Amino acid sequence: MVNAGVYLVARANPIFASAPQVMALVAAIGIFTAILAASIAMTQNDIKRVLAYSTLSQLGYMFASLGVGAFTAAIFHLMTHGFFKGLLFLGSGSVIHAVHEEQDMRRMGGLAKKIPQTYWTMLIGAIAISGIPPLAGFFSKDEILGESYKLGFQWVWAIGVVVAVLTAFYMFRLIGLTFWGKSRVDPEVEPRIHESPRVMTVPLWLLAIPSVVLGAILSWPGPPLGPLFGVEGQGLLAGWLAPIFEHAEALLGHPEGAFDLGGIDGLLIAISIAVAVGGTLAAWRLFGVEIGLLRVAGRPSLVTQLSNRLWFLYRASANKWWFDDINNLLFVVIGGRFANALAWFDQHVVDGIVNGIGALTRRSGSDLARVQTGRVQNYALGIALGLIAMAGSYFVILGR
């Protein structure tokens, strides 16, 4: 369901291409959503909530890509994201199952050795979504950033680079808090931690495989791998989607420049990799790392120190920029009072008028019904009185 909007805008590409101002608005909303959701994911402690805000952020990436006119890149990221985010969500379910329905990462830690299959597959998913080569997320994310820059949306590219740093950071924060360091699991639950059954771990490995290779497969023999190996051509996905987007690209007048690995394209790729690695290293420094011989302990005191120093940003992120409070104020408190006022107006004024007219009609009918007595002498008396009234009126008029 969450991908339906991306697909809709992509399929309606000629309509959007006919309104460049609307596309710029789509790009602005998309990249704003990406950085907003990423900033919220930075401090969430519920493992599924981190992934939920991550999904929102990546969808923002896709809409930003559609807004700048990089339609193929948006669908590319839609496809790769589906695999590694599906892997991460199922992996989080496996973690929750292993620790007996606990979702707070502050009550996890040290799970890498106890649930190794879940750990390794989630590590693959984290590397993929962080945009570290050669996994799938690198290819699609890099194409979005590169196309944004080359199509004249440098501001989208700049914010997208910041989002890439945040993405790598919060994903390895999740890995660090969940799998590395000392165990913080409830002592009563600790002895019962176990790896999930095959019915849960096999799908994780099946999703891990495309999370590793899908990006390279869909982009081959196009950039960036094709030129790197001396092969020139259009990528598999780009060639497949070309007939769908060619009309929109013609309307937008997008130039088809050659890929220059030694020029701007190579520089953009280097920046993309650098920011992903930078976000990863920052998370490792704060929350530790345990991959093979690479072992660094987390620094909770430094995390606390930075949180206190950046207290406003930390509180804003932890409180989801107070969107829930704003939503409650606008739609529950103010909206509720406004709805109650409308309900009172409807009940007492609208219904009162309608009911009053109905009551008046009923009373008038009841009073008039008394005239119909069924007695001939009463009717004769009424006729006589009527004739007298008419005659009297006639004489009055003549007298004037």
- Per-residue pLDDT of 361-381, as tens digits, reads 888 888 777 777 777 887 888
What distances in angstroms separate CA 57 from CA 61, 124, 160, 323, 380, one per listed residue? 6, 19, 10, 16, 89
Asked if pLDDT for residue 68 goes beyond 80, the answer is yes
pLDDT at 264 over 80: yes
For the chain, what is the mean pLDDT? 91
Answer with the residue of higher pLDDT: 94 or 3.
94
CB 143 within 8 A of CB 69: no
Helix 136-150 and helix 71-98, axial crossing angle in degrees, nearest 10: 140
Q: Of 1-5, 28-32, 81-85, 140-144, which gets the smallest average pLDDT?
A: 1-5
Q: Look at residue 254 in the predicted model and tell me its pLDDT.
A: 78
pLDDT at 400: 66
C-alpha to C-alpha distance for 328 and 286, rounded to whole angstroms: 34
- Inter-residue contact 60 to 33 (CB < 8 Å): yes
pLDDT at 224: 87
d(CA 21, CA 29): 12
Which residue has better confidence, 263 or 153?
Answer: 153
In this predicted structure, the answer to whether residue 171 has a pLDDT above a threshold of 80 is yes
pLDDT value of residue 226: 84
**Least confident piece of the model among 146-155, 281-290, 382-391:** 382-391
**What is the pLDDT averaged over residues 108-126?**
94
How confident is the model at residue 378, as a pLDDT? Answer: 78
Residue 1: the pLDDT is: 76
In the predicted model, what is the mean pLDDT of residues 185-203? Answer: 92
Q: Is the peptide bond before 221 cis (omega within 30 degrees of 0)?
A: yes
Calculate ∠ Cα 222-227-233, nearest 5°: 35
Predicted confidence band of residue 230 (pLDDT cuts 50, 70, 90): confident
The percent of residues in the chain predicted with pLDDT above 70, rounded, is 99
- Largest separation between any pair of C-alpha atoms in the chain: 125
What pLDDT, on the 0 to 100 scale, is given for residue 231? 82
Instruction: Look at residue 209 in the predicted model and tell me its pLDDT.
Output: 96
Average of per-residue pLDDT across 258-280: 90
> Strand 289-291 relative to strand 294-296: parallel, antiparallel, unpaired?
antiparallel
Per-residue model confidence (pLDDT) at position 98: 92
pLDDT higher than threshold 90 for residue 18? yes
pLDDT in tens, 323-366: 889 999 999 999 999 999 999 999 999 999 999 998 988 888 88
- pLDDT for residue 300 is more than 80: yes
Degrees, nearest 5: CA angle 226-229-233: 25
* pLDDT confidence of residue 394: 84
Give the residue among 45, 265, 381, 315 at the shortest CA–CA distance from 53.
45
**pTM: predicted TM-score of the whole model, two decimal places:** 0.84
The predicted structure's pLDDT at residue 263: 85
What is the average pLDDT across 224-233?
Answer: 82
pLDDT at 294: 87
Q: What is the pLDDT of residue 261?
A: 80
Look at 383 and 86; give whichever has higher pLDDT: 86
